[in-house]
Every structure is written in C-alpha cells, then in structure tokens.
C-alpha cells in the first residue's frame, strides 16, 4: 500500500483492508464449521453457523458502504481506485461464501443421523480442505498484494473442479446402489456443489487481486475441469450460491 499526502486516506484504506481480512476469516470459519457439522452430525454447530450468517452479512454491507463513501469523498485514482473497487468485489464474493456455508449447514440439519459413507466422506473432506486452503491463500494474497500467490489460486481451481466431478459421479452411483439413502445423498450432491462454488469465489478473489496490483486480469481462460451435470449453485433447484 502506498503512502499518501493525505494521511487520513491511508488510515481509511488500511481500515477497509482490515475489514476485508476480518470478513475473510469469518467466511473461512463458517465453511470449516459447516463441513464439520456435516461430518460429525453436530446439529448445534450447524445452528451456530446459521446464527453467524447475519453478522457476516452486516460486515459485508458495511465494507460496501465504506468503499462507496471513500470513492465519493476521496476520488482515488489508479491503484488506489483499483484497491477500493477490489474491496467491493471481494466483499461480495466472501458474502457468497458465507451463503454457501449457511446452505451446507442447513442441509446438514436436514439430513438423517446416519453417517456419511466413508468412501464419500473422506474425499469430500479432502475437497473441502483444499477449497479452504484456496480461500485462505486468496485472502492472504490480498493482504500482501502478492500477485504470484493470487495466480497460484487462479491456476489451481481446476483441481477442485476435478475433485467435484469425481465425487459427483460417486454420489450418483451410491444413490443408484442404495435407494434407502437417496434422500441424504441428494443433500450431499448439493453440499459438494456448494464447496466447489466456494473454490470459484476464491478464484474470483484471486483475479481481483491480480487486477488490483497489475491493472490487468490474468491472461488466458480460467482453468476449469468440472464435468458434472448438476446445475450451478444459485439456480432455483439449488438455493443460494
């Protein structure tokens, strides 16, 4: 972050950055707890995720309000303007991550107490852990303005897509083999899609960091390897994304 003649602008910019990082940490905690509640059948933890949703939304709204106010009052240029605009976009992506975590928690509460089959639970956990790592890396790249770290997040999104494709097919096969568990497994299809969408939002954040620092978006088409047939989260059939 550059030093400015008007020091109060530096203070505001640091405050905006601090709030984005706070929002990122909260979104990461929501995702962690939502997946944990699903794995452990912990309804209380799922309820706590639901209760924290409003806090996350309020913080995102405050960030947007502060950023718009800064643009109106300070009229920033070049990297300063990109920094403030990136904060608005990143805030929106993190709010969506919170929505996805909330959806996972709701589906956790809707499922029966029967444990998720190990052949599905373990790859789902690995996918969730990698997605969480991507989200953290995106947040840290914003904090440090590290364009190289942001590029790594952008490039590795395809790994999460590939994991989702495999897991999607495995869940569908389990539904065919065990119709008694089809209700819970249907919920699980939406859960893993929501996790994959978190990875997309982490990649969006990485793109915003690249643009903020360099003034240009990453070169080339975003790597994608998702071959599942489930509609993108956000459709009427899936709820929020």
- The domain 7-214 is placed in CATH, from the list 3.30.590.20, 3.40.630.30, 1.10.10.60, 1.20.58.220, at 1.20.58.220
Q: How far apart are CA 146 and CA 144, in angstroms?
A: 5
| Structure confidence at residue 241 (pLDDT) | 37
**Predicted pLDDT of residue 2:** 53
Q: Among 241, 93, 226, which Cα is nearest to 160's?
A: 226
Show the low-confidence residues of the chain (pLDDT under 70). Answer: 1-6, 225-241
Backbone angles phi, psi at 235, to 5 degrees: -75, 170
Closest to 193 in 3D by CA, of 229, 225, 224, 158: 229
Nearest CA among 183, 40, 197, 181 for reference residue 127: 197
| pTM (predicted TM-score) | 0.89
The whole-angstrom separation of Cα 204 and Cα 225 is 16
**Placement of tokens 């109106």 in the chain:** 72
pLDDT at position 221: 74
Question: Residue 191: which of 113, 95, 119, 120 has the closest Cα?
Answer: 120
Closest CA to 145 of 28, 21, 27: 21
Task: Report yes or no: 107 and 183 within 8 Å, Cβ to Cβ.
Answer: no
Is residue 228 helix, strand or coil?
coil
Please give the angle made by the CA atoms of 35, 29 and 190, to the nearest 5 degrees: 30
What residues have CB less than 8 Å from 100, skipping those under 6 apart? Answer: 31, 194, 195, 197, 198, 201, 233, 240, 241
**CB-based contact 2:79 (threshold 8 Å):** yes
Q: Are 207 and 214 in contact (CB under 8 A)?
A: no
* pLDDT number for residue 210: 96
Q: Where do the structural domains in the chain lie, given as residue ranges?
A: 7-214
pLDDT of res. 81: 95
Q: Give the other-Cβ count within 10 Å of 51's Cβ.
A: 11
């Amino acid at each position: 972050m550059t030093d400015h003649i008007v020091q109060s602008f530096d203070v505001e910019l640091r405050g905006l950055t601090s709030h984005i990082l706070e929002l990122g940490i909260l979104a990461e905690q929501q995702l962690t707890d939502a997946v944990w509640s699903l794995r452990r059948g912990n309804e209380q933890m799922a309820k706590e995720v639901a209760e924290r949703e409003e806090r996350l939304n309020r913080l995102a709204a405050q960030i947007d309000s502060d950023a718009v106010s800064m643009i109106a009052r300070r009229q920033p240029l070049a990297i300063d303007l990109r920094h403030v605009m990136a904060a608005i976009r990143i805030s929106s992506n993190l709010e969506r991550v919170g929505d996805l975590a909330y959806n996972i928690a709701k589906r956790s509460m809707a499922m029966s107490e029967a444990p998720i089959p190990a052949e599905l639970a373990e790859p789902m956990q690995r996918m969730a852990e990698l997605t969480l790592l991507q989200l953290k890396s995106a947040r840290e790249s914003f904090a440090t303005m590290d364009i190289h770290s942001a590029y790594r997040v952008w490039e590795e999104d395809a790994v999460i897509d590939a994991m989702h494709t495999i897991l999607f097919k495995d869940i569908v096969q389990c539904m065919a083999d065990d119709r008694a568990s089809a209700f819970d497994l249907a919920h699980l299809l939406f859960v893993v899609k929501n996790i994959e969408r978190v990875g997309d939002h982490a990649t969006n954040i990485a793109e915003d960091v690249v643009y903020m620092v360099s003034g240009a978006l990453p070169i080339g088409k975003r790597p994608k390897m998702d071959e599942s047939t489930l509609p993108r989260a956000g459709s009427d059939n899936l709820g929020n994304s």
